Amino acid sequence: MPGNQFAVADAAMDIESGRAFLVQEARAITAKAIAGQEFVPDDAARMEMAGLVARENSQKAVDRLFAIRGATGLFETGNFERYYRDVRMGTLHATSTPDLVREEVGKHIFGIPLNVQPRWA
């Protein structure tokens, strides 16, 4: 059925696009470190964006694959249950929840200090 092929293709594209952004930013940061250049707030914002895109794309990919795998994917006897759980945890970590990352990146783009009060200024 082409629906399954489409879902797998979309999942692969989600994973690869997230990975590409993350690797691009990691290489840029590494190059700066090797060159002895200063790490600036823009670098942190780009790494946070890349990390969030990679986590959210991975979650979308697992959701797509779960939809074609069905409920048997949640049985602990297979590897899929672990992938599903691990990907979910990536967006639940206290310091990298999607809303927190978006808040920090948005503040950076607008030039708002991260510690400004009230938080949603």
CA dist 91 and 72 (Å) reads 23
Q: In this structure, which amino acid lies at residue 34?
A: I
Q: Map out the domains of the chain as residue ranges.
A: 2-110
Q: What is the pLDDT of residue 108?
A: 95
Residue 79: C-alpha distances to residues 8, 46, 76, 120 (Å): 17, 32, 7, 41
Which residues touch 25 (CB under 8 Å, ≥6 apart)?
46, 47, 49, 50
Model pLDDT for residues 56-86, shown as the tens digit of each residue: 999 999 999 988 877 776 666 778 888 888 8
User: Is the dihedral angle over the CA atoms 8, 14, 17, 23 positive or is it negative?
Assistant: negative
User: Is the dihedral angle over the CA atoms 31, 110, 100, 118 positive or is it negative?
Assistant: positive
pLDDT score of 88 more than 90: no
- State mean pLDDT over 88-113: 88
Span 2-110: which CATH code? 1.20.140.10
CA dist 64 and 6 (Å) reads 10
